[in-house]
């Protein structure tokens, strides 16, 4: 991963964690920088960003300690996604709600235009970007 890409992923992680930019802006910045996908791991508190060439950069996640619920609720994750899309919550609030919904992590597929949320027992909930072709 080149220096510019590393700078962009670190800036996006920090701005998002502090609630200063919305998910759509994160997607735009990362896509422009040539990032293909990223994986947020709530258990390890880190995000790994990937380029199409397989290079990666790991950035620590900054969020308040909270337990991850034992049961996964796709409905709760979906409700939080909708709140975020409407601009009602920012990433810090989204993270708290995702943890309460039993989400252990997620993959953002920038080129595939979707996010896959995971529960601890292998549950998966997919959310498509607005306007994405499924």
pLDDT at 121: 96
pLDDT at 134: 67
- What's the predicted TM-score (pTM) here? 0.92
Q: What is the mean pLDDT of the chain?
A: 94
Angle (nearest 5°) at CA 96 between 94 and 100: 115
**What does the pLDDT average to over 28-54?**
96
| Contact partners, residue 91, CB within 8 Å, separation at least 6 | 16, 17, 19, 23, 84
Q: Of the candidates 44, 48, 65, 70, which has an alpha carbon nearest to the alpha carbon of residue 57?
A: 48
**Rounded distance, CA 69 to CA 2, Å?**
37
Neighbours of 41 (CB within 10 A): 16
| Contact partners, residue 34, CB within 8 Å, separation at least 6 | 5, 51, 52
Q: Domain spanning 3-128 has what CATH number?
A: 3.30.1810.10
DSSP state of 18: T
pLDDT over threshold 80, residue 39:
yes
Higher pLDDT, 36 or 66: 36
Q: What is the pLDDT of residues 50-103, one digit of tens each?
A: 999 999 999 998 777 889 999 999 999 999 999 998 989 999 999 999 999 999
pLDDT over threshold 70, residue 45:
yes
């Amino acid at each position: 991963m080149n220096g510019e890409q590393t700078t962009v992923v670190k800036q996006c992680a920090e701005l998002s964690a502090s609630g200063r930019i919305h998910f759509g802006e994160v997607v735009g910045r990362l896509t422009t920088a040539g990032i293909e996908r990223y994986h947020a791991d709530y258990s390890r508190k880190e995000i790994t960003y990937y380029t199409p060439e397989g290079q990666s950069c790991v950035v620590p996640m900054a969020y308040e300690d909270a337990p991850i619920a034992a049961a996964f609720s796709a409905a709760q994750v979906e409700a939080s996604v909708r709140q975020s899309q409407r601009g009602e919550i920012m990433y810090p609030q989204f993270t708290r709600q995702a943890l309460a919904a039993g989400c252990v992590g997620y993959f953002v597929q920038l080129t595939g235009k979707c996010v896959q949320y995971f529960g601890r027992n292998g549950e998966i909930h997919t959310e498509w970007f607005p306007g994405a072709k499924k």
